């Protein structure tokens, strides 16, 4: 009998060219369909980040440039009016997004990374290490956050790096709790046991087998942390300990021209609106991601 | 019960110790020096700087400073304010604390009065218009910066109607009407964030409790709907809420720095703000330690009351 090398028609689900891109695109479409509010929030966040990056291109005036009359009301040439030093508020809000994005994302990233290290080791190793670390975290969580940030910034000076460091480290303990919980949930899973049986080392077990399975809760707490960091930065700038003038920031805009706000309330309305919309978007996105990625965390 | 209180009390000592150490590390070990910042704005010589360091107790090595700091924290004596020369603790306890206490009390009260009923209504009428409103406010309330809302409350009525809050703080004994205006308006603004948290939590707790068998039993035996909700559901949903209120009051207390500054109330928060602006080292240290101790104490009280209210925890 002759063996025929005939092609057998097997339906193969080969990824067509641009596999990653199309997979991400289809995931994004599904997310948008499931959680329209979350998708809108993601778009708003993208716009804010782009505005921060391309501020010099988008803003009609420079942030320190005299652009017209003093304290003029919103008009066609000055969408959000001008401040006491005749600077265009709209341009300053666009430039102000830079401080917000830098500190919000920076502090959240640092906090998430620290929380991952603490939460994963604490959950995975367990025993006395876990017990000790958790008591320390209890203590840190009981510190009055904004008060600590203020005293540090007052004595160390408030440059961007210091603010990111302090906000990031203060956010980490709370986030590490969630990550620890997720680690404990997967720690005893059969696949971890199997990996251990073929003598995988503890670091390998944590990085190769645990980490990919706790990405979902980590992304969720990380997203929610951005909103909190932005609020904290705004409060710091408002109190005068954040970004130093003339570099604009949304929180600072509300305190610099404080005595003029009663005759020019638009100077108060727009920066606050910018903060609220940004934080709201991050919180909505975090909520939506949680529902989609990790339904167990719902209502936490 | 008394055994539990004792055990919890003995646990509080290491927590306090750790918290104070954390404050010390954060405030002292991070680079930057109070005196250099203090001298930026005035003309002092090198000797003066050293003298001030000596006076503030920050000329010594870190371990010696730590010992001094702990002694001060335990005795509650943080020395005198550089700016006014008054003892920090005395100013805090007699002048500042009563105002902050009044403010925080009313803010908590408003948050409970707004948040819990709204959460109950949203849960009972799930997926109704009310529910959507409560859920949106629940997320939105956390996104609005308190200092912005406070500023708008001051600015907009002045812009539209020329109405402003009374200027110059009066205690309740001096002028009750003026005092209440000055306290209640900021307290209401301050309560928004806590009310939002309570709304969300009450809603999800109630949704969980409403599905319980005992609630169905209560309904089945013909009890009035209102009685079922208040006596059977809310009482059980309230337990986790209690611990949340405890934690959140600590957040409120820390937040007084912002609200008292916005509304120019001379409380603990604005004392800290003044201290920081003037680099008044003893004041900053005193207020930070006092607030940390207050928060630890508050957590302790919540733990105890949790046990009193919920018999299940006692087993």
Query: Could you tell me if A36 lies within 8 Å of chain B, comparing CB atoms?
Result: no
Q: Do B18 and A261 touch (CB under 8 A)?
A: no
Domain count, chain B: 1
Note the pLDDT of residue B105.
92
Q: What is the CATH number of the domain that holds B215?
A: 1.10.3720.10
What pLDDT sits at residue A299? 47
Is pTM beyond 0.90? Reply is no
| Fold of the CATH domain A48-63+80-297 | MetI-like fold (1.10.3720)
In this prediction, residues B276-295 reach a mean pLDDT of: 81
C-alpha–C-alpha distance, residues A291 and A286, integer Å: 9
Q: Scanning every residue of chain A, which has its alpha carbon at the shortest distance from the alpha carbon of B16?
A: A139
Q: Which residues contact A63 (CB under 8 A, 6 or more apart)?
A: A87, A91, A92, A95, A96, A246, A247, A248
The pLDDT-based confidence of A300 (bands split at 50, 70, 90) is very low
Residues A118 and A168 sit within 8 Å (Cβ to Cβ): no
Of A148, A261, A263, the CB nearest to B23: A148
Q: What is the pLDDT of residue A1?
A: 46
B204 found inside a domain: yes
The domain in which residue B102 lies consists of 95-274
> Which residues in chain B have their CB less than 8 angstroms from residue A135's CB?
14-15, 18
Residues of A in Cβ contact (< 8 Å) with B33? 155
- At residue B35, the pLDDT reads 63
Q: What is the pLDDT of residue A294?
A: 65
pLDDT band at B187 (very low <50, low <70, confident <90, very high): very high
The predicted pLDDT at position B313 comes to: 61
What's the average model confidence in pLDDT over B54-77?
77
Q: Is the pLDDT of residue A265 over 70?
A: yes
The three-state (H, E, C) secondary structure of chain B, written as one string: CHHHHHHHHHHHHHHHHHHHHHHHHHHHHCCCCHHHHHHHCCCCCHHHHHHHHHHHCCCCCHHHHHHHHHHHHHHCCCCECCCCCCEHHHHHHHHHHHHHHHHHHHHHHHHHHHHHHHHHHHHHCCCCHHHHHHHHHHHHHHHCCHHHHHHHHHHHHHHHHCCCCCCCCCCCCCCHHHHHHHHHHHHHHHHHHHHHHHHHHHHHHHHHHHCCHHHHHHHHCCCCHHHHHHHHHHHHHHHHHHHHHHHHHHHHHHHHHHHHHHCCCCCHHHHHHHHHHCCCHHHHHHHHHHHHHHHHHHHHHHHHHHHHHCHHHHC
- For residue B156, the chain A residues in CB contact (below 8 A) are 265
Task: Judge whether B54 lies within some domain.
Answer: no
In a domain, B283, yes or no: no
| Distance of residue B221 Cα from the nearest chain A Cα, in angstroms | 31
pLDDT digits (tens, 9 = 90+) for A219-246: 888 988 999 899 888 888 888 887 777 7
Q: Is B75 a member of any domain?
A: no
Least confident piece of the model among B32-46, B157-171, B244-258? B32-46
Touching B: A residues 203-232, CB under 8 Å: 227, 231
The predicted pLDDT at position A20 comes to 79
Cα–Cα distances in angstroms (integers) from residue B192 to residues A77, A131, B85, B131, B184, in the given order = 36, 36, 37, 18, 13
Mutating which of B20, B24, B26, B251 best tests the A interface, going by the most A Cβ atoms within 10 A? B26
User: Rounded to a whole number, what is the distance in Å from the CA of A119 to chain B's nearest CA?
Assistant: 20
Inter-chain contact B284–A151, Cβ cutoff 8 Å? yes
pLDDT at residue B196 is higher than 60: yes
Percentage of residues in chain A having pLDDT higher than 70: 90
Range in A72-76, A247-251, B64-68, B284-288 with the lowest mean pLDDT = A72-76
Q: What is chain A's mean pLDDT, rounded?
A: 82
User: B98: distance to nearest CA of chain A, Å?
Assistant: 19
Residue B113 in this model has a pLDDT that exceeds 70:
yes
Is B289 part of a structural domain of the chain? no
User: Is the pLDDT at A295 greater than 80, yes or no?
Assistant: no
Most A CBs within 10 Å, among B19, B34, B78, B148, to test the A interface = B148
Ranking B59-73, B158-172, B301-315 by mean pLDDT, the lowest is B301-315
Whether B271 shows a pLDDT value over 70: the answer reads: yes
Asked if the C-beta of A276 comes within 8 angstroms of chain B's C-beta atoms, the answer is yes
Residue B293 lies in a domain: no
Residue B134 reports pLDDT greater than 80: yes
Distance from the first to the final alpha carbon of chain B? 10
In this model, does residue A291 exceed pLDDT 60? yes
Kindly state whether A138 is in contact with chain B, defined as any CB-CB distance less than 8 angstroms: yes
Mean pLDDT for B271-297 is: 82
Among the partner-chain residues B26, B139, B288, the one whose CB lies closest to the CB of A283 is B139
Least confident stretch, A15-19, A209-213, A265-269, B114-118: A15-19
For A85-132, write each residue's pLDDT tens digit: 777 888 888 888 888 899 999 999 999 999 999 999 998 888 889 888
- Residue from B10, B143, B204 to probe the interface with A (highest A Cβ count within 10 Å): B143
* Contact list, A235 vs chain B (CB under 8 Å): 145-147, 258
Report the Cα–Cα distance between both ends of chain A, in Å, rounded. 68
**Residue B44 confidence (pLDDT):** 62
**Average model confidence (pLDDT) for chain B?**
81
User: What pLDDT is recorded for position B27?
Assistant: 67
Instruction: Tell me which residue in B27, B156, B250 faces A152 most closely, judged by beta carbons.
Output: B27
Q: Mean pLDDT, to the nearest integer, of B103-117?
A: 92
B26 in any annotated domain: no
Residues B253-274 have a mean pLDDT of: 88
In a domain, B47, yes or no: no
């Amino acid at each position: 009998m002759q063996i025929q090398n005939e092609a057998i028609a097997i339906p193969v689900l080969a990824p067509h060219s641009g596999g990653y891109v199309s997979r991400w695109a289809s995931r994004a479409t599904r997310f948008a369909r499931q959680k329209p509010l979350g998708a809108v929030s993601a778009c708003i966040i993208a716009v804010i980040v782009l505005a921060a990056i391309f501020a010099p291109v988008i803003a009609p005036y420079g942030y320190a440039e005299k652009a017209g009359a003093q304290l003029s009301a919103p008009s066609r040439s000055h969408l959000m009016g001008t401040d006491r030093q005749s600077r265009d508020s709209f341009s300053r809000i666009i430039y102000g997004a830079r401080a917000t994005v830098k500190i919000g994302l920076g502090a959240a990233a640092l906090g998430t990374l620290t929380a991952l290290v603490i939460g994963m080791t604490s959950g995975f190793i367990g025993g006395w290490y876990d017990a000790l670390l958790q008591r320390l975290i209890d203590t840190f969580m009981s510190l009055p956050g904004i008060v600590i940030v203020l005293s540090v910034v007052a004595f160390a000076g408030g440059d961007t790096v210091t603010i990111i460091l302090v906000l990031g480290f203060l956010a980490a303990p709370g986030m590490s709790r969630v990550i620890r919980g997720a680690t404990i949930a997967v720690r005893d899973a059969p696949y971890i046991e199997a990996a251990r049986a073929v003598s995988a080392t503890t670091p390998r077990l944590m990085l190769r087998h645990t980490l990919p399975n706790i990405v979902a809760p980590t992304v969720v707490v990380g997203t929610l942390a951005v909103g909190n960091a932005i609020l904290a930065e705004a409060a710091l700038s408002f109190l005068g300990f954040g970004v130093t003038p003339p570099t604009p920031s949304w929180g600072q805009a509300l305190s610099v021209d404080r005595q003029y706000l009663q005759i020019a309330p638009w100077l108060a309305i727009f920066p606050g609106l910018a903060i609220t919309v940004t934080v709201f978007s991050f919180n909505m996105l975090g909520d939506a991601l949680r529902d989609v990625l990790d339904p167990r965390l719902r209502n936490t | 019960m008394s055994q539990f209180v004792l055990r919890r009390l003995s646990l509080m000592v290491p927590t306090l110790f750790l918290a104070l150490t954390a404050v010390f590390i954060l405030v002292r070990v991070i680079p930057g020096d109070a005196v250099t910042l203090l001298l930026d704005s005035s003309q002092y010589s090198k000797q003066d700087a050293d003298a001030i360091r000596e006076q503030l107790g920050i000329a010594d090595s870190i371990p010696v400073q730590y010992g001094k700091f702990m002694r001060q924290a335990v005795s509650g004596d943080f020395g005198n304010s550089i700016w006014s020369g008054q003892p920090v603790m005395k100013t805090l306890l007699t002048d500042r604390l009563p105002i902050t206490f009044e403010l925080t009390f009313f803010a908590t009260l408003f948050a409970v009065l707004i948040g819990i009923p709204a959460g109950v209504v949203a849960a009972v009428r799930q997926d109704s218009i009310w529910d959507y409103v409560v859920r949106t406010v629940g997320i939105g309330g956390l996104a609005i910066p308190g200092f912005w809302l406070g500023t708008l409350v001051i600015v907009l009525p002045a812009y539209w109607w020329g109405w402003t809050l009374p200027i110059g703080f009066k205690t309740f004994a001096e002028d009750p009407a003026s005092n209440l205006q000055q306290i209640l308006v900021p307290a209401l603004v301050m309560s928004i964030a806590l009310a939002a948290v309570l709304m969300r939590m009450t809603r999800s707790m109630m949704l969980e409790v409403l599905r319980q068998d005992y609630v169905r039993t209560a309904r089945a035996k013909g009890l009035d709907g209102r009685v079922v909700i208040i006596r059977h559901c809310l009482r059980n949903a309230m337990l986790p809420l209690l611990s949340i209120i405890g934690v959140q009051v600590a957040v409120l207390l820390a937040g007084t720095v912002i609200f008292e500054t916005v509304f120019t109330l001379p409380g603990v928060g604005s004392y800290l703000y003044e201290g920081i602006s003037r680099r008044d080292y003893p004041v900053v240290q005193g207020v930070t330690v006092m607030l940390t101790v207050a928060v630890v104490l508050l957590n302790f009280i919540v733990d105890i009351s949790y046990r009193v209210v919920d018999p299940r925890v006692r087993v």
